[in-house]
Chain A
């Protein structure tokens, strides 16, 4: 009887110790000092739709990582700052963010805000992993700036290649939007087209928010082009494609990544059938990991994610990969750790595709040449990363 009581007490003690250990383990992550992540993003103003999805992508990744124990046992805490898509406000918020000594700055997406932030993060020696795609952002010699997607200099050449090798085009037209996105794509396309021997016989600029493309399409028709290269934003893409159908203008349409974006397909409907573009990782990419991300993103935020959400998601995983490479939390060493790194999705699943980071902050994670059909993306061919 006495021996039974001792046994019972021993078992009860062991259970209590196990319970305490389990609770302690659960709370260990909360006890570790948090990793502060600053998230400056365009949450109002003209860039709101882009910046909001970037922020949501970052927040989803932070939740995912915290659920798995954070980074090196430290939980991540994100603080969001609205830049209002205004460079002067962006400078204010990045100063506010840096006053809080963040471990990394994730954002913003618009190149104007990035150019304002970049000297300040560089001075503070904090890695700025941003969503900008404009070509000049990684040519400023800043060792603390990183992309999360391919730059324009990487996405345009595969489309030019398609024009020459698949469509055998000789005379092409180009319609582009006269802002930093469109101008970057315009200059790269003209240079690449010249190198490839294509003759650009119609070079048409348009305005952001332009409602009617009828005059532009008349110019295009008069130029007798073999194909048209379109470099517009999503809504303008849809208006242009609808306008082409209404005018009966039947020429192959290729263009920038936004041309095959889910938003363009949704707005243009069947008029978007058959358009071709090159895309890095996009929400329509035929990868199980991407589709799983899309499902979870939609379940949490009740909107369909685009490539900006994916970029924000991967930015957090880049922080994790760089930190684990160092084996310690070193905010000033993170940028150096990321340079030249190749991140494998087997060890960092949120990176989704193998990613190589170049010394100037550009990345290459390959991509897909895609044609749209019935509101879906279909891969023509996979373009592997050039590592």
Chain B
């Protein structure tokens, strides 16, 4: 039954990606771009969900890893390095930094860890801004070319969705493996996990580093999508936004990041008709949502589905 449910979640994710791909074929460039942005943010949120939702570690460094991936691609692409190689390089650098940061940082937990990871975000921002010889400084790097044959908006949308599908499958496989079970065991009860022979430190580090690598993948997709990188989008506000995506979608839920990223990308756009008040209402809706469903939208939906069969017998009992 669990295996069926797990296969169902993967099918749900792949179905959403397929639907996005089909939908993009009939949309104007604006809609296609939003769907691409959704795919990019979802990859980053999946990474953070591994760290937060499965390994239970609060990280505010995900924006830094996205930035590292974005700058790696923006810097290497003009030198003729193929996009696939820049994507892997961004993921590898983020993974390595995740290990380097995680090794000392994971000695602390909870909000202490959040502060340590916040320091990395600040440090990465300062490097992006001050090392002008490499990053272009505050002026950033513009006119980033998209890889052939994905140069058009629709073409690049397919690439983003394709990478998201690959990431979805890889993470689904990882979570079904003994590693994934160990991540969940760590989140639920680290002491009990250790007593069962799980190397708490190694697995926590691994979850953190894989989450960071996915941040790098997301960044590698971000740079040619926006075709411009500068330091400010990779500051603390973006880390908080990614954290919100995971929590709103459902932390620790496989489908949570997909839903959370959808809310973060599309809801403000839908509310634009409210002009000056659209972000106020967006913030209010998110707060109300978290009050009503602290387990996130996926948790709320699951709760709704669980309740429905219970209601039937009572209804049927009535004459």
Contacts and interface: CB of A to CB of B under 8 A. Distances in A.
Interface of A: 43-44, 46, 80-82, 84-88, 91-92, 95-96, 98-99, 111-112, 115-116, 119, 134, 136, 140, 178-180, 183
B37 interface: yes
Contacts of A86: 232-233
Contacts of A91: 33, 226-228
A99 B30 contact: yes
Q: Which 6 A-B pairs have the closest CB atoms?
A: A96-B30, A180-B138, A95-B30, A99-B28, A115-B142, A95-B29
B269 interface: yes
A178 B129 contact: yes
B138 A179 contact: yes
A98 B32 CA distance: 13
Contacts of A80: 275
Contacts of A44: 279
Say whether chain B's binding surface is mostly helix, strand, loop, or mixed. Answer: helix
Nearest to B29: A95
B240 to A, nearest CB: 13
5 contacts: A87-B230, A87-B233, A96-B30, A98-B29, A180-B139
A37 B153 CA distance: 24
B30 to A, nearest CB: 4
B155 interface: no
Nearest to A89: B268
Nearest to A115: B142
Given A87-B233, A98-B29, 17 more contacts: A82-B279, A84-B279, A85-B232, A91-B226, A95-B30, A95-B33, A99-B29, A111-B139, A112-B232, A115-B142, A116-B227, A119-B143, A134-B139, A178-B129, A178-B130, A178-B138, A183-B138
A40 to B, nearest CB: 12
Contact of A183 (B139, B222, B278): B139
Contact of A92 (B34, B129, B278): B34
B228 A112 contact: yes
Interface size on B, as a range, is 20 to 34
Interface string B34-64: 1001000000000000000000000000000
Nearest to A205: B130
Interface of B: 28-30, 33-34, 37, 129-130, 132, 137-140, 142-143, 153, 222, 225-228, 230, 232-233, 269, 272, 275-276, 278-279
B228 A115 contact: yes
B52 to A, nearest CB: 23
B55 to A, nearest CB: 28
A237 B62 CA distance: 34
B232 A43 contact: no
A88 B139 contact: no
A84 B30 CA distance: 16
Contacts of B132: 183
Contacts of B225: 88
Contacts of A183: 132, 137-139
A82 B129 contact: no
B164 to A, nearest CB: 17
Contact of B276 (A43, A95, A136): A43
B30 A112 contact: no
B137 A112 contact: no
A368 B105 CA distance: 55
Contacts of A46: 232
A273 B165 CA distance: 62
A86 B275 CA distance: 17
A92 B37 contact: yes
